[in-house]
Chains A and B, each alone.
Chain A
């Protein structure tokens, strides 16, 4: 069996530093009560990352439980239609529970088990991370509480029901903007209160160190597989990578193993919502500035007084005012490009893939697809784009039907 690579560095790129800094970004910005559990987590993570038994168990779970490796699928018909580069889809939508999120929850749950924690908490936006967390908690027999903004509870009702079936308690969060950032606040409050027995599984590359590095490392399985699959299928590396960016975990999972391969362009796609110019969007890298939220310094959407601005996106999973600190670093360093796609464009991406390839994508992933529709035609026919199809669209049927005036 192929053993999963879990690595914190490539040959030339060694980020973050030991205190979790990616240049000026990242770090540990939390209240004092959370410092000891974060240190405990970091020690456990550093230790098990090098533990062959841990890696073997993780590899087996990823293969037999998650269903990895996920295919790299050549979307030939769509590529022909777009008339430019060959588009390959990394099929994270085929993972157990329907998105890339489970790669991370399987890893963190194994850590929780080894650390003797009996209670799991998580925040969720689209509900994919909540479902992926409830799933691994069920499997390990751990208590599970998932925090979700009440706006998201309403628009992702199906995932709420899935979590409940899996035995999780879903807490609807009524504070602030009632979306992902508020769910994160509430999860942090729970963690502060229950630090002794509780493991907080953060669902993206945000939060205080070591989360951005740890979640990335668990997600790099996407990029490692994609690289090998691309070489096997085409004999060469891709020319471009495209992934949507909410907190940025599916994007960094795909990008990271290619960071040293400077011929490979990287495009992170943020949610432009109603349009960047309207202010109703979720695109901190495209339109925000550096600040501190949820334990790290990164690009943020905050006003002139430093208050966090409410975000907007058709996709709950991208509806977040911050972004993982490593993306902030990759933006400033110029290694990756960050672009944005509106709700309307994302819908076009959604329909295009559904009709052309018989694959119904998640609304989050549809942002990456919509950008691919712009990018592919500008490239040569023998160029290769790998798009991270981070999740499937089942959870979004109600949102899409409603938007198009159809009653289910």
Chain B
């Protein structure tokens, strides 16, 4: 009985149209998010915005590309603007009879999803970046703009990215964007600055002028009055009388008549109603509405909010799969940073100008890396890279260095040996690597390309590197 009811529910929730299957989620209907993967697109009825937000977020925050990449359309009668929801979804319709309008979008997204390669990323950061750039790619969107958003803990929301984080972890989104920029996947422009609580990074702050002595916000300002004829100076309170609302000088009893003629107001003083301290220069405190800390504004974390654009490299990374961030491979033991490698190459070229001799740089590229990585979990990927490096390490001199140019290309120096010998060593290395993979990883086909470039002191280090990796796509 129960099953029938459920089945009936589902039947009502699925709409077949133009060859696509639309999952129609009615207001407040409890449809599990896993259901999404069996359909081409999702339509959400908009009545209760909290519900819509919840549904849209749980789809976009899901880790499976079959779910988070699905087109979402909002069915809303009124045209109320919800910029963040609009950014997270792919369009809106006024009624189910308008389904034709969204069919092209569903078609386009479904096609573009086919272009993508899904690899298992080594790190959490790489996973989240993959989610972001694949979404951007399928939506044919180039920008990641910050949206002012009251539900955001930091005040600005990057919908496609921030949706992955709980409110109190939203600053992680900023870290991820920074990494993506360092990787050359995104480019940034200044957008705004926010001040965040130093204890919990919340932007939900209440600013108040407080007493510099006891930090109470219960203060009263009063004009200071200077009575010219007698030189008396004091807060306006001193000049008030009990009979009328005129002001009388407490020193000489004269009535104040005309500002600028017989008196003026040279400044303002504040009195604290808590500790009676009098002061002119109040402090400004920010009370955090999230963690309730109350600190001076100087202690707040000033944070830049940038808007981002997807680079060509970022687009390619979406298609080819984004496996690691530089940070991840920098952590592989036995390697140096690629930038350091470049610098050392520069010095070696300089050295060759002075002395006779021949040096080389070599590269080993995993030509089917997307395939390889998608078969391996992130721990195994890291293990593979470690193994490769240790084999290479044991076949070159200790004075030579190894670096990752990318997650699929390893570069190394082979200084002070003839080019012919370098080529021979590389050849031996590849067969050793093949042996290693055969023994350590079952059923894994790894294809290696190699290249050796002899250093020529007439050329720059950049030219050398270009030549070295030009054959690898």
B is bound to A: no
